[in-house]
Structure 1
Amino acid sequence: MTISIIVLLFGAGVLTGMINAVAGGGTFLSFGALTLVGVPPVVANATSSITQFPGYITSTLAYWEDFKTFWRGAIALAVASVVGSLLGSWILLQLDNPQFRTLVPWLLLAATALFAAGPYLKPKPRPGQHASVGSAFGTAMQFVTAIYGGFFGAGMGVMMLASLGLSQAGDYHRLNALKNMLAMVIAAVAIIVFVAGGVVAWPQAVVMIPGVAIGGWSGVWIAKRVPQSVMRFSVIAVGLLLAVYYFVK
């Protein structure tokens, strides 16, 4: 890698971490930056999953106390996440780069639309409701979400928060804690499959991971000063531009 590519990937990692901390959707940038520097789409998707993983861990640890109230019910959702992510990541590995590349603009458009609709999909707080999580309906919905997350992670968090809001009880913070834990499980399984399949660009990942970590930490500072609407608009613009890029390329 040249110095300019290293700077580009590190900078994209920082912005990815910031956007994930403020509004979510940073996967658009990490995936886009990797493909722009010449990483094949399948490898870029797998590598992007690895760069996001440290952020999922820290987000889950931040909600550690919340898990004491529902961890038993979350086991069923975690199992569904493991199976769904295995299936989604396995499907990805069955595609070659040209095949996956034809799907990328459509996946980007769908994920961008989902991200744009995120504020309207967020579940309304339901104070006082603390029923156990892990119903059959919720487990089935989580299985479908995990397939998408294992195959193509962009927009997964918004999709999961929306599905959990429809199927689980509790306020927004409780659902967000559950979402962060399940996202970590989905990403961990996908990473194992991708590493075993040999589709990870490790030099690029090593450059981006510290940037994502720095961006995630500094994103808290950004969140207090930059309106989330500005960050969301930036993510949507990037998603649309990348979709157009892949349509015309």
Structure 2
Amino acid sequence: MALAEVIILIVIGFIAGVINTVSAGGSLLTLPLLLFIGLPATEANATNRVAIVAQSITSIITFKRKQSLQLRKNATIYLTSAFGAIFGAFSALSISDRTFIFILALTMVTSILFLIWNPLKAVNRTVTLTPFMAFIGGALSMGIGFYSGFIQVGVGFYIMILAILLYKKSFAEATLIKIIVAGVSVSLSLFIYAANGQVNWLVGIVLALGNMAGALVGSRIVLGKQTKWIRIVLICTILLMAVRLLFELYT
């Protein structure tokens, strides 16, 4: 890698680490970046997970120092999402680069909706979680795990929505659930990708250095009105990257 690429990977990795920890969507920046520096789609998808695993470990350690991880309490979410991630990873290995890039571009545009419209602003926490809804929650967790293993981009949005709207978790607890689900599902899928020779470890480790630093900062940040400009910049950047991906795909 050229020095310029190393610097870009660390800087974007840092930004993504902050975003992933305090909200979601950091991979909307890092995965296209890996494609732009020349990695094949499947390899970029796999390599991006090295940084996410490192970032997740950093965030979990930081959170554990402040509060209990409550692993038993949320075991259903963790186990079902992990199971889905395994199938998602194997599915991603079987598609072409063009198909993956097309799915990624659509995913990026869809994720912008979650940045513009926040479905978590008005949450009713008085509804009791019935056995049927618990079953639905397990099925949705498995689907989220599949998505995480398959492409992962923006999965934090879906985890947060599920944890807060269905399981009635607080924002802080939902954030912790998001970090653990992402860490477990991405770790499992990374193992599968690595076993199939799809991981560029050098690029992944460099990106991970930036992500870990960003996760340390992000774990100490409380989202508020002062961070609105981050959302605006992120939306514009994601939109430009998605357009570029589609342009390169069809030219």
CA-to-partner distance for each residue in 1:206-248, whole Å, 9 max, x for gaps? 2111111122223467768992211111221121111100111
- Paired letter, 2:171: Y
Q: 1:46 touches 1:194 (CA, 8 Å); kept in 2?
A: yes
Confirm whether residue 110 of structure 1 aligns to residue 110 of structure 2. Answer: yes
- Paired letter, 1:194: Y
Partner of 1:239: 238
Instruction: Tell me the distance in 1 between the aligned counterparts of 2:225 and 2:206.
Output: 26
Query: Per-residue deviation at 1:90?
Result: 0.9
Partner of 1:155: 154
Confirm whether residue 37 of structure 1 aligns to residue 32 of structure 2. Answer: no
Query: Per-residue deviation at 1:100?
Result: 1.6
Instruction: Tell me the distance in 2 between the aligned counterparts of 1:149 and 1:116.
Output: 22
Classify 1:140/1:47 alpha carbon distance in 2 versus 1 (closer, same or farther; 3 Å).
Answer: same
**Cα RMSD between the aligned structures?**
2.8
Instruction: Tell me the distance in 1 between the aligned counterparts of 2:209 and 2:130.
Output: 39
1:25-174 aligned within 5 A = 25-64=25-64, 65-68=67-70, 71-117=71-117, 119-121=118-120, 124=123, 126=125, 135-174=134-173
Q: 2:58 touches 2:216 (CA, 8 Å); kept in 1?
A: no
Instruction: Tell me the distance in 1 between the aligned counterparts of 2:122 and 2:171.
Output: 7
Instruction: Tell me the distance in 1 between the aligned counterparts of 2:63 and 2:124.
Output: 17
The structure with the greater share of residues assigned to helix is 1
Q: 1:131 touches 1:170 (CA, 8 Å); kept in 2?
A: no
CA-to-partner distance for each residue in 1:156-201, whole Å, 9 max, x for gaps? 1111111122321342222322222222111111111111121111
TM-score (norm 1): 0.86
Query: Per-residue deviation at 1:73?
Result: 4.1
Instruction: Tell me the distance in 2 between the aligned counterparts of 1:56 and 1:178.
Output: 11
Classify 1:221/1:247 alpha carbon distance in 2 versus 1 (closer, same or farther; 3 Å).
Answer: same
Instruction: Tell me the distance in 1 between the aligned counterparts of 2:129 and 2:172.
Output: 12
Instruction: Tell me the distance in 2 between the aligned counterparts of 1:220 and 1:77.
Output: 22
Partner of 1:8: 8
- Paired letter, 2:68: D
Classify 1:56/1:220 alpha carbon distance in 2 versus 1 (closer, same or farther; 3 Å).
Answer: closer
- Paired letter, 1:66: S
CA-to-partner distance for each residue in 1:76-111, whole Å, 9 max, x for gaps? 222211211011111100012233223221122122
Q: 5+ residue gaps in structure 1?
A: none
Q: 5+ residue gaps in structure 2?
A: none
Instruction: Tell me the distance in 2 between the aligned counterparts of 1:171 and 1:123.
Output: 12
Q: 1:114 touches 1:155 (CA, 8 Å); kept in 2?
A: no
Instruction: Tell me the distance in 1 between the aligned counterparts of 2:102 and 2:178.
Output: 30
